[in-house]
Amino acid sequence: MKTIPLKDGQTVLLRESIKSDASELVDYLQKIGSESDFLTFGPGELSVSVSDEEAILEESYTAKNKIMLLALIGNKVIGCLHFTGGVRARTRHTGEFGVSLLKNYWDQGIGTTMVRELIQWAKDSSVIRKLNLRVRSDNDRAIFVYEKLGFIQEGLITREFCISGQFFDCIYMGLSID
């Protein structure tokens, strides 16, 4: 667990998710889809039930190569980072993550701190040796943060996202954990 003091006096708690977070997380996911076009889903596109989310959280909590970190103010989820490692022996050492924050909390260092926590978790693990992510090529703020944390650009996939009929490219980025 880690706390982040905000300029407005609030305190954000970062911690690993638990099964009882499912309902609040489902509410968060419904909100976040309408706040940014940089996500892989938009408003109403992500339909997950509380019981489905409970199963996801339980699996993330017990697996050695998965983690879901939440950023909370009180009991309200304001941010989420989910890392999923490979399911087979040859790929269990690597995986991909996504991170999101409610728009009211952008530019306060919360997302950066969440990724730093993921990096430390990976270094402390006996399994994870590589972190991967995908980011829209026009998401300059996110790319800057990832590069600041040591991620390197490893590839470009054209036309990966289609939003309102417009295509966007995606950059694959990675960080070796050694």
The tens digit of pLDDT for each residue in 21-61 reads: 999 999 999 899 888 888 888 887 777 888 988 888 888 88
**Is residue 137 in a domain?**
no
Q: In this structure, are residues 128 and 94 in contact, taking their beta carbons and an 8 Å threshold?
A: yes
Q: In this structure, are residues 12 and 78 in contact, taking their beta carbons and an 8 Å threshold?
A: yes
pLDDT of residue 15: 96
Which residues, 6+ apart, have CB-to-CB distance to 40 below 8 Å? 98, 134, 161
**Is residue 32 in a domain?**
yes
Residue 145's pLDDT band, with cuts at 50, 70 and 90, is: very high
**Is residue 149 in a domain?**
no
pLDDT of residue 62: 86
pLDDT tens figures, 81-136: 999 999 999 999 999 999 999 999 999 999 999 999 999 999 999 899 999 999 99
Q: In this structure, are residues 173 and 137 in contact, taking their beta carbons and an 8 Å threshold?
A: no
Q: For strand 130-136 and strand 94-101, is the pairing parallel, antiparallel, or unpaired?
A: parallel
Entry pTM: 0.92
- CA quadruple 23, 24, 25, 28: dihedral positive or negative? positive
CA 124 to chain centroid: 19
pLDDT of 7 over the 90 cut: no
pLDDT of residue 132: 98
**Is residue 121 in a domain?**
yes
**Is residue 164 in a domain?**
no
pLDDT of residue 118: 97
Burial class (CB in 10 A: 0-12, 13-18, 19+), 64: exposed
pLDDT of residue 60: 85
**Is residue 8 in a domain?**
yes
**Residues 72-83, mean pLDDT to the nearest whole number:** 95
| Sheet (strand 76-85) strand order | 2-5, 11-16, 66-73, 76-85, 94-101, 130-136, 166-176, 152-163
pLDDT of residue 21: 92
**Is residue 153 in a domain?**
no
Total structural domains in the chain? 1
The CATH number that applies at residue 100 is 3.40.630.30
Rg (CA), the chain: 16
Give the domain extent around 78.
2-128
**Is residue 157 in a domain?**
no
